[in-house]
């Protein structure tokens, strides 16, 4: 019974309750973002190190923490984490590869912005915010791939794979990672919001 209520609460969770005052001039925004950027560099590196190159394409860990930053911290945190993570990761670990960097950066930026905006500004339930961010971000990735193809620039892993074939392969390969994010990001977000709300109530009582 408790388990079913928990699952229901994820779909019909209360509206955004975590702090929304983290502006671009607020140091808390960058402390929060630094934590997620760190996770977003470490976890993909570990995934590639122990699972090989294909593991990153299957589990999509770089998108997971960008999504979580957006749903927990709002759109500004999502933008900072989404924009900086691929660039810092590339400079430190060489991942994602240079030919993948533009599409991954655009996709991460879209994930963080849309998830945070849908959750914080539109007060969308967390599941729908994650779904909207996922759908829009993969469309953005497709757009970047087609743009690079039309300009005669190298995209993806190189080679002569046509844009739609390359995109379809990446999307199908990443379905496991998408499914994991659709389950865990809402679950973690709801649990974090409940904990935050409970802590604030205790502070008020005290």
Gap between the Cα atoms of 77 and 44, Å rounded: 20
Q: Model confidence over 24-37: pLDDT tens digits?
A: 888 889 999 999 99
Q: Which of 91, 88, 141, 89 is nearest to 111 (CA)?
A: 141
Residue 203 has pLDDT above 80, yes or no: no
Residue 9 has pLDDT above 60, yes or no: no
How far out from the chain centre does Cα 60 lie? 9
The token pair that represents 15 in the structure block: 């509206």
**How many CA atoms lie less than 13 Å away from 33 in the CB half-sphere?**
23
Query: What is the overall mean pLDDT for the chain?
Result: 87
4 or 200: whose pLDDT is higher? 200
Residue ranges of domains in the chain, CATH in brackets:
2-197 (1.10.1760.20)
- Give the number of other CB atoms < 10 A from CB of residue 153: 10
Q: Model confidence over 94-121: pLDDT tens digits?
A: 999 999 999 999 999 999 999 999 998 8
Average pLDDT over residues 154-161: 87
């Amino acid at each position: 019974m408790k388990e079913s209520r928990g699952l229901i609460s994820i779909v019909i969770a209360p509206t955004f309750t975590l702090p929304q005052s983290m502006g671009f001039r607020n140091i808390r925004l960058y402390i929060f973002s630094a934590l997620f950027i760190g996770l977003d560099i470490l976890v993909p590196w570990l995934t590639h190190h122990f699972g090989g190159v294909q593991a990153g394409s299957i589990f999509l860990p770089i998108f997971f923490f960008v999504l979580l930053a957006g749903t927990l911290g709002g759109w500004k945190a999502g933008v900072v984490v989404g924009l900086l993570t691929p660039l810092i990761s590339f400079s430190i670990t060489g991942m994602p590869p240079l030919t993948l960097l533009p599409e991954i950066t655009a996709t991460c930026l879209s994930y963080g912005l849309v998830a945070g905006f849908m959750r914080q500004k539109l007060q969308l339930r967390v599941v729908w915010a994650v779904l909207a961010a996922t759908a829009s971000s993969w469309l953005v990735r497709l757009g970047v791939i087609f743009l690079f193809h039309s300009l005669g620039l190298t995209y993806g892993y190189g080679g002569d794979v046509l844009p739609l074939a390359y995109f379809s392969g990446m999307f199908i390969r990443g379905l496991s990672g998408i499914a994991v994010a659709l389950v865990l990001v809402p679950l973690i977000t709801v649990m974090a919001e409940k904990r935050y709300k409970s802590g604030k109530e205790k502070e008020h009582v005290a």
